[in-house]
Amino acid sequence: MFKKILNRKSRKEILKDVKALRSKVDELENFRVLHKNAENAIKGTEEELAKRSWALKKTGETFKALYHELNKKNQRLERFDELKSQFVANVSHEFKNPLYVISESLSVVLDGLMGEINPKQRKILEGGKNNTERLLRLVMDMLDLSKIEAGKMEIRREKFDMVALVDEILTAQEREIAKKQITLERNISRSVSPIWADKDRISEVIINLISNAVKYTPNNGSVAVKLLGTKREIRFEISDTGEGVKKQDFLKIFDKFKRVTAERQEGTGLGLPIAKDIVELHRGKIWVESEFGKGSKFIFVLPKDLRGGKRE
Amino acid sequence: MSKKILIVEESSIMFSVLKDMLEKEGHSILLSETGEAAIEIAKTDNPDLVITDTSLPDIDGFEVCRRIKNFETESIPKVIITTGDVDAVDAEKAHDAGANDYCAKTSDSLHLVRAVKGLV
């Protein structure tokens, strides 16, 4: 058989076949190497993937653990904050009654109910009474704030006449206004209908804004009070010719954690933050407009009726 | 079962927290405050497990792990790398260093104890 082939194929042809076979073998060898390389590459990628997924899993676990840690710390901080607020509230509360008693006792003596007092005695007692009242205001501010913080400030809605309330408060401030020879401009729309709101709280806001305006307005300056009502809202504005508020402080003055005019202000500096909380509890809005050096204007807007959209 | 565990930790507070928890599990505890010393202790005392922080005063925890894993002894300790930061790259580094586990340091250390249970 071999002979047959030899017969059929010349030596030259056989050599050609051998060569072709060799190149096939080479080709196969190349394929083998390529295949091996590909296999290694896949293995490498698989290892890399396994490593990555391990790392991802571990990172996920660490995130989870650290998240729990943060959460725990946060809860502890919240608890501490609560305790602090509770402490402030308790202390303020304990201060309130004795201060009332001191203030009232001084009034009784000052009013001459305990007999005549001489001018020297009067002066000393008046100093005592003024300071006691200042302390009382501070304590009341702290109490208000801790109530707001604890979410315990309640809005007791009643129907009342804003025009009369503003008049009443302005009358109470008349002495101070006259003392500084401040010109008071009243622009109170008599047609403002009664609103449903917490009279005591709103009165607190207005007293705060008016007394601030009077306090910061220099002698012979002017203060303008404006009250107007639309169908749904009531708008109160008070402008003064005091120093004004810098633009960067427009929000800060309403923030209980930031005091802008610390040195000049007597009091807690909590008046405006409390006013803001009260207005916002009524679903209203309060803000300031001012050009520094020219005075400022405080505005608040209240919905006339916040009884869940019900109309009177 | 009681195991010998080496803790590599610079903070003495963290160390005592870990020590208490692991001793409660019945393990005996060794301490090293530096990386180099840890490698020596690992060589001589032959612990079953090494728990190392990533940041140490001399070499880092990854290096400690790498060198322990290259011991030419029969029983190479298992290694857990712990960290106060979270970084995916760190977990990969821990893997490259041959660590058996990688976990965050937290105040309760519960998951670390769990990791220890999973290994020894």
Residues A164-196: tens digit of each pLDDT:
999 999 998 888 899 999 999 999 988 888 888
Nearest to A157 by CA among A195, A196, A194, A193: A196
Q: Which residues of B touch A51 (CB under 8 A)?
A: 92, 95-96
What is the distance between the alpha carbons of residues A51 and A61, in angstroms, rounded to a whole number? Answer: 15
Q: Residue B52 pairs with which residues in a beta bridge?
A: B8, B81
* pLDDT greater than 90 at residue A13: no
Q: Is A302 left (phi over 0), alpha (psi -120 to 50) or beta?
A: beta
CB distance B101 to B90 below 8 Å: no
Find out whether B68 and B79 touch, Cβ atoms under 8 Å.
Answer: yes
**Which residues in A lie closer than 8 A to residue B102 (C-beta atoms)?**
55, 58, 62
> Would you call B109 an interface residue with chain A, using a CB distance cutoff of 8 Å?
no
Q: How confident is the model at residue A309 (pLDDT cuts 50, 70, 90)?
A: very low
Q: What are phi and psi of A141, to 5 degrees?
A: -60, -45
In this structure, the strands spanning A233-240 and A222-229 are antiparallel
Report pLDDT for A310.
Answer: 41
Taking the CA atoms of residue A75, residue A81, residue A82 and residue A86 in that order, the dihedral angle to the nearest 10 degrees is 160
Q: What is the pLDDT of residue A151?
A: 76
* Cα atoms found within 13 Å of the Cα of residue A300, Cβ hemisphere only: 24
| Strand-by-strand arrangement of the B4-8 sheet | B28-32, B4-8, B49-53, B78-83, B101-104
Is residue B35 within 8 Å of B8, Cβ to Cβ? yes
pLDDT for res A2: 62
CA dihedral (A258, A130, A206, A282) positive or negative: positive
> What's the pLDDT score for residue A306?
62
Q: Kindly calculate the radius of gyration of chain A based on its CA atoms and give it in whole angstroms.
A: 41
Q: How far apart are CA B107 and CA A73, in angstroms?
A: 10
Contacts of A190 by beta carbon, 8 Å cutoff, 6+ apart: A163
DSSP symbol at B119:
H
Tell me, yes or no, if B111 comes closer than 8 A to chain A by beta carbon. Answer: yes
Q: What tokens were used for A58?
A: 């571990």
Put simply, whether A76 touches B (Cβ < 8 Å) is no
pLDDT of B108: 75
Structure tokens at A311: 């109309």
Phi, psi torsion values for A241, nearest 5 degrees = -110, 35
CATH assignment at residue B87: 3.40.50.2300
What six digits make up the tokens of A104?
């009232």
Considering its fold, how many domains does chain B have in total?
Answer: 1
CA distances from A154 to A144, A194, A197, A310 (A): 10, 20, 11, 19
Percent of chain A with pLDDT over 90: 54
Does B106 reach chain A within 8 Å, measured CB to CB? yes
A67 touches chain B (CB under 8 A): no
Separation CA A96–CA A138 (nearest Å): 10
Q: Please give the pLDDT value at position A260.
A: 59
- The reply to whether A68 touches chain B by the CB within 8 Å rule is yes
Q: What does the pLDDT look like over A110-134, one tens digit per residue?
A: 999 999 999 999 999 999 999 999 8
Per the structure block, which two tokens stand in for A212?
């601030």
Query: What is the average pLDDT score of chain A?
Result: 87
| Region for residue A112 given its phi and psi (left: phi exceeds 0; alpha: psi -120 to 50; beta: otherwise) | left
Nearest chain A Cα distance for residue B62, angstroms:
14
> Could you tell me the residue range of the domain that residue B92 belongs to?
4-119
How does strand A233-240 pair with strand A295-303? antiparallel
Query: Low-confidence residues of chain B, pLDDT below 50?
Result: none
DSSP designation for A156 = -
- Minimal C-alpha gap between B88 and chain A (Å): 6
To the question of pTM greater than 0.80 for the whole model, the response is no
Q: What is the DSSP letter of A305?
A: B
Alpha carbon of A76: minimum distance to chain B alpha carbons (Å): 13
